Amino acid sequence: MEGTLSQLSFISSNSSLFLNTQFEKPPLMADTLVLRAIKSTERNGASKTKPLKYIRRRTGQASEGFHESRKRVSKVNLEVSPHRAVCAVRLMRIELGGAFADLLNEKGKGSGSNEMGYVERTLGFRTRPLDDRDLRLVTDIVGGAIRWRRFLDHLIASLCHSQKMFEGMEPLLLQILRIGFYEIVKLDMPPYAVVDENVRLAKVALRPGAGNMVNGILRKLVLLKENNTLPLPVVEGDDRAKARALATIYSHPVWMVRRWIKQLGQDVAEKLMTWNNSDPHFSIRANIAKDFTRADLVELLTMLKVPHELSPHLDNFVRISTGMQIIIQASLLKQGLCSVQDESAGLVVSIVDPQPGETIIDCCAAPGGKTLFMASRLLSQGVISAIDINKGRLRILKESAILHEVDGVINTIHADLREFARNNSVKYDKVLLDAPCSGLGVLSKRADLRWNRKLEDIELLKNLQDELLDAASMFVKPGGVLVYSTCSIDPEENEERVEAFLERHSEFHIDPVDRYVPHNFVTMRGFYFSNPVVHSLDGSFAARLVAIRI
């Protein structure tokens, strides 16, 4: 089982993928499905996308791509920048095909030939192979172009002849412009090299006229940037107008900005959005189940020349800001010696406080970051029942458990927690419900998540979280522990869900978490909360509840 960053991104944001399959969207499999893009977009705001039509490719039949008239031809174009071609195709797959950005970014690390296969199937040609620098650029540009999409679209629309021209722009042309704008405005790449390379991509991938349009728009951008006269929104007017301007400047959905300004105030909301737009930092957890300590990990990172620092909060964790590709290529993850896990998730495990010999149930376990950490702390003594409704993600957990040598204490159960609770009366010492949530605490790592969430999701999730909490409580022994956690920063998914649960279940009371985590993570009510602005970690929440002994 390969410990890839795609899986590990899931680990650090476990709860951001919903338990209920109606909230999940599968990555696009371009090998078997071909996308005919039919899209009308309301620029400068939320996208309005018509349903995508998929055509299953038949053996021997000419494939249809983003341009129905383009037939697949195997040819190499050495003049087109390979990282820009890959970026354009990835952005198309994410926005129109429903692929996950973090999964695609990890596939790009060390799999350039596979990426070039997608380029050929989509654009009809290949470029030279991607080198390590190209792969790093792909990761940076794809993530950045997604995060800054609203801001980039505002600039692009401002430089088009008309709003109608922008709204009717074909998807591939728009992605090429987003790449060029991001490279010039946010990466400060040599502007005329960016213009030349993106013009060439547009001409080859589309037609000469598209290249001419890209040339004209990008040259306008270069001139405005050099004169420091970019058409930026002005934060003025009533609350709605200010929120719209800030949403464009910081590239977030308007509903999120309005909600955060109301909950946190404008200053903190801006700091939160700045964090969400920053390059994500990662933590590595040494796998003590393999007798691999943090000191061993530090020794290897030093040998590999990967900059790192020790976590001040958790004994087995090390922080890194660069060098993930080196770690992957050195097979540290593949060997199960360590895994990528945010400290905020590790602190939730500290609150569960798993002890050797205990029985534990992880109620929404897959793909298993917290499960694996808890299992390592059992020291081969005890049992963790890992339940999840998603069979594919549960399979990842099982494979990871073998890789990490903790499969002897993990028992996987494929079931809906609510139904499983109705049909089983077994009790456990400790119960962890890492609930499906909006994922608003992990937006720095999940670049595309902000555009896939709607305000209505919060209400739907609140109902699901209540149902799952009720079900999870049925597994707790008298005197046992129930830990409810999310990777959200929204009070309606956190404190309010716990308070509502306690009103329904007087047999439970709050056990303050100050014995398990540093004091600056403890709220007035005794809950755990990691704040991205305060702690520079993913946002997360946990409450430790104890069942009254009868």
Dump pLDDT digits (tens) for 306-331. Answer: 999 999 999 999 999 988 889 998 99
Query: Each residue of 291-305: pLDDT tens digit?
Result: 999 999 999 999 999
Per-residue pLDDT averaged across 467-474, rounded? 98
Per-residue pLDDT averaged across 170-186, rounded? 97
Position 18 scores a pLDDT of 34
CA distances for 95 relative to 37, 90, 448, 544, angstroms: 10, 9, 9, 39
CA distances for 367 relative to 8, 401, 541, angstroms: 9, 10, 19
Cβ-contact 13, 411 below 8 angstroms: no
Annotated active-site positions, please?
Answer: 487
Kindly state the tokens that stand for 251: 């590239």
Tell me the H-state helices in 250-342.
Answer: 254-264, 266-276, 294-303, 324-329
CATH 3.40.50.1820 fits 343-547, yes or no: no
Query: Each residue of 329-343: pLDDT tens digit?
Result: 899 999 999 999 999
- How far is the C-alpha of 500 from the C-alpha of 135, rounded, in Å? 47
Query: Each residue of 153-164: pLDDT tens digit?
Result: 999 999 998 999
**Kind of pairing between the strands at 508-510 and 359-362:** unpaired
Write 23-27 long-range contacts (CB < 8 A, 24+).
Answer: 23/436, 23/457, 24/390, 25/98, 25/452, 26/98, 27/97, 27/98, 27/99, 27/100, 27/103, 27/104
Per-residue pLDDT averaged across 519-540, rounded? 97
Position 116 scores a pLDDT of 84
Position 112 scores a pLDDT of 55
Give percent of the chain above pLDDT 90: 75
- How far is the C-alpha of 209 from the C-alpha of 527, rounded, in Å? 59
Whether 201 shows a pLDDT value over 60: the answer reads yes
Per-residue pLDDT averaged across 221-248, rounded? 97
**Kind of pairing between the strands at 359-362 and 282-286:** unpaired
Cβ-contact 90, 141 below 8 angstroms: no
Beta bridge partners of 53: 36
- What is the CATH code of the structural domain delimited by 282-339? 3.30.70.1170
DSSP-derived 3-state class of residue 56: strand
Position 402 scores a pLDDT of 97
Query: Each residue of 452-464: pLDDT tens digit?
Result: 999 999 999 999 9
Per-residue pLDDT averaged across 162-187, rounded? 96
What backbone torsions phi and psi does residue 281 show, to the nearest 5 degrees?
-105, 150
Q: State the amino acid at position 337 in one-letter form.
A: L
HSE-CB at 3 with a 13 A cutoff on CA atoms is: 29
Query: Each residue of 63-92: pLDDT tens digit?
Result: 334 444 344 445 888 899 999 999 999 999
Whether 445 shows a pLDDT value over 80: the answer reads yes
CA dihedral 322, 447, 9, 122 (to 10 degrees): -100
Cβ-contact 530, 539 below 8 angstroms: yes
**Kind of pairing between the strands at 338-340 and 540-547:** unpaired
HSE-CB at 427 with a 13 A cutoff on CA atoms is: 8
Cβ-contact 363, 417 below 8 angstroms: yes
Per-residue pLDDT averaged across 261-275, rounded? 98
- For the residues of 353-377, what is the DSSP string, one character each? ---TT-EEEETT-TT-HHHHHHHHH
What backbone torsions phi and psi does residue 508 show, to the nearest 5 degrees?
-115, 150
Kindly state the tokens that stand for 30: 């371009």
The pLDDT mean for the chain works out to: 86
Position 65 scores a pLDDT of 41
Q: Which residue has the higher pLDDT, 300 or 9?
A: 300
- How far is the C-alpha of 76 from the C-alpha of 124, rounded, in Å? 9
CATH of 46-226, picked from 3.90.650.10, 1.10.940.10, 3.30.950.10, 3.60.20.30, is 1.10.940.10
Cβ-contact 252, 275 below 8 angstroms: no
Report the alpha-carbon angle 16-410-546, nearest 5: 65
CA distances for 431 relative to 104, 413, 509, 528, angstroms: 33, 15, 15, 16
User: Any idea how long the chain is?
Assistant: 550
- How far is the C-alpha of 380 from the C-alpha of 440, rounded, in Å? 35
Position 55 scores a pLDDT of 28
- Residue 226: in which H helix or E strand, if any? helix 208-226
Q: Give me the residue label for tokens 């700045």.
A: 274
Position 547 scores a pLDDT of 97
Whether 42 shows a pLDDT value over 60: the answer reads no
Whether 142 shows a pLDDT value over 90: the answer reads yes
Would you give the end-to-end CA distance of the chain in angstroms? 45
> Binding site for S-adenosyl-L-methionine, residues?
364-370, 388, 416, 434
Lowest mean pLDDT among 11-15, 30-34, 377-381, 397-401: 30-34
- pLDDT confidence bin for 45, thresholds 50/70/90: very low
DSSP 120: H
Whether 51 shows a pLDDT value over 70: the answer reads no
> Binding site, residues?
364-370, 388, 416, 434
pTM, entire model: 0.85
- How far is the C-alpha of 51 from the C-alpha of 35, rounded, in Å? 11
Number of Cβ within a 10 Å radius of residue 392: 11
CA distances for 121 relative to 29, 61, 105, 209, angstroms: 12, 13, 18, 22
DSSP 72: P
Q: Give me the residue spans of the domains in the chain.
A: 46-226, 239-276, 282-339, 343-547
Query: Each residue of 102-140: pLDDT tens digit?
Result: 555 544 344 456 788 889 888 989 999 888 889 889 999
Per-residue pLDDT averaged across 508-512, rounded? 98
- How far is the C-alpha of 379 from the C-alpha of 394, rounded, in Å? 22
Cβ-contact 1, 369 below 8 angstroms: no
Q: State the amino acid at position 90 in one-letter form.
A: R
Position 111 scores a pLDDT of 47
Position 99 scores a pLDDT of 66
Residues 6 or more apart from 395 whose CB is under 8 A from it?
none
